[in-house]
Amino acid sequence: MVVLVVATASDPASVGPAAAFLAMPGWSPGPPISEGMESFINGDVRLLKHECSIIAEDDLDLRWQAATGEDVSEVIFLSKHTAVSNRPALTVHPIGVPHLREDETPPQGGRPGWAALPNPRIGPWLRLLQKIAVDQGLVPEFEITLEATHHGPVTHTPTMFVEIGSTEEYWGRQDAAQAIALVLWKGLGLEEGNTVGSWQGNGEKVLLGIGGGHYAPRHMDIVMRCRPT
């Protein structure tokens, strides 16, 4: 089983963290899965880069499996975040549009009535992101926040987005990109071999949050207070 990290060259908040991640040791070229896509391998991590909108490429996990024979255990997308506040932010969130009816067209990808399985790393990585952002001096300039699910693309394995917001000024910030790369490096166990947030399903408690606004502050407060027992 491999972890698929996905970036798009059309998004500075996606390609920046991907470049910082690839600058860390241990990478080698991986197989392409279609025209215009390239990949890189580091242990059981696969980084896939394409040129399209991050929400437009459905079924990347199944397509990777078909092209390489490798089963994908989870997908992590790197992306920009936009907000009317224009406030700089680092965010994580699950994906899907379960609130839409079958006759509605999703404005940002996905399939009406569908949501991906949430990546179990979301809570632990939110806390890791907070720690790294503080250590790197990004807080309080950047807000660290959890978002509710609200867009695609379609996937078939546990999925999460990790984003830089909220305007072009911040999408290309190298210090923010480096912070996201460190979350990936540490969280996926490439630094010391100990992953952050992997879930074995051996009786650990699962928290399901329903309701709230786009940023679900009550849910985030609970997540930030949780600690592994």
Q: How many whole angstroms separate alpha carbon 228 and alpha carbon 197? A: 10
Torsion on CA atoms 76, 197, 189, 166, rounded to nearest 10: 40
Kindly write down the DSSP assignment for every residue of 191-226, as one continuous string: TTS--SS----SS--------S-SS-HHHHHHHHH-
CATH number at residue 181: 3.40.630.50
Structure confidence by residue, pLDDT tens digits, 119-154: 999 999 999 999 999 999 999 999 999 887 777 799
Supply the pLDDT for residue 99.
Answer: 67
Q: Which domain holds residue 100?
A: 2-225
Report whether pLDDT(58) > 70.
yes
What confidence tier does 213 reach under pLDDT thresholds 50, 70, 90?
low
Confidence (pTM): 0.90
Structure confidence by residue, pLDDT tens digits, 3-30: 999 999 999 999 999 999 999 999 999 9
Total domains in the chain come to: 1
Q: How many whole angstroms separate alpha carbon 120 and alpha carbon 199? A: 6
